[in-house]
Amino acid sequence: MQGGIIQEEAKRESSGKKDSFAKYTVKDSVFTTIFRDKKYLIQLYRALHPEDTETTEDALTDITIRNVLTNGIYNDLGFRVGDKILFLVEQQSSWTMNIIIRALMYLAQVYHDYFEEQDADLYGSKKVHVPEPEIYMIYTGERVSRPETISFSKEFFKGKECSIEVKVKVIYDGKGNDIISQYVAFTKVYNEQVKRYGRSREAVTETIRICKDRNLLREFLESREKEVVSIMMTLFDEERIMRNYVASERREAVRDAVENMLKTGKMSAEEIAGYFTELSVEDVREIEKGLLQTI
């Protein structure tokens, strides 16, 4: 059933009748695209560590987990500064304490990869070198009374000391016009345009125009505008496809139920129709007619 819906969408695409909709993951997509470029990654690092004016782009190593398997873990951004500090940065527009659990899983994975890269002997007597972790969540939703830091022990064990601790620093905005403040402002502009135009191409293009006018991520948007529009859009309305899929599954389930009720011979078409708001008596009789033809 799902394949039929997807095939129908594919036919519409191949026939040239394309409906474009802004992705639900617009903010994630732009975030990850910006910081794959070391030109902007170094700006992020300096926003997090303004005291360090000596580190260059060459010292940054991308360690973002990009797992192509659907059941694998992946994160928004990970990078290392030499062998000193390891950064994990997530973008969130909705508040969730589960980010701490995800951060723990990401941290374990990137450390695993690092030790393999270094060919470290974890079973030997010599203590291995471990880059210091710093974990951040850039939160672009409403702050209200959100904390500056969230921790594993406090949120999941009521502050009780436990065998492992993970702390995530929450960033709500940058300072001045740094790359963080520009990104946060970009997400707010996008939210405003979606309220005005819906998840449409116009919302995307207006977001880009306004941000360029306000000098928000301007260099990035000007140099890669077509790519940015592309990553912010999707050919298929995922919500509509899922809605259609769920509705079709529901119809199949209702039909099966009606057939089973008819087979018992204990209920009339009128009585059966009374159980299903989406079916009329005529619908039940049509199903009954089809059922009789198969006998």
Pull the structure tokens for residue 73: 């873990």
3-state secondary structure at position 94: coil
- Give pLDDT, residue 74: 83
Strands 167-171 vs 132-139: parallel, antiparallel or unpaired: parallel
Query: Which one-letter DSSP state was computed for residue 59?
Result: G
- Is residue 7 over pLDDT 70? no
Please state the domain extents for the chain.
Answer: 20-234, 241-294
- Give pLDDT, residue 88: 96
Q: What share of the chain is helix, strand, coil (3-state, %, to 5)?
A: 50, 10, 35
Q: What is the mean pLDDT of residues 73-100?
A: 92
Give the other-Cβ count within 10 Å of 8's Cβ: 11
The listed range with the strongest mean pLDDT (18-27, 220-229, 236-245, 268-277) is 220-229
- Tell me: the pLDDT tens digits for 24-43? 566 777 898 899 999 999 99
Which has the closest alpha carbon to 84: 16, 49, 132?
A: 132
- Is residue 250 over pLDDT 80? no
- Is residue 108 over pLDDT 60? yes
- Give pLDDT, residue 25: 61
Angstrom distance (rounded) from CA 167 to CA 157: 13
Which amino acid, 37?
A: D
- Give pLDDT, residue 4: 44
- Give pLDDT, residue 192: 94
- Is residue 55 over pLDDT 50? yes
β-strand partners of 169: 136, 149
Give the other-Cβ count within 10 Å of 272's Cβ: 21
Angstrom distance (rounded) from CA 79 to CA 60: 7
Sign of CA pseudo-dihedral 106, 112, 118, 121: positive
HEC readout, 259-274: HHHHHHCCCCHHHHHC
Q: What is the mean pLDDT of residues 148-177?
A: 94
3-state secondary structure at position 163: coil
- Give pLDDT, residue 1: 42
pTM equals 0.70
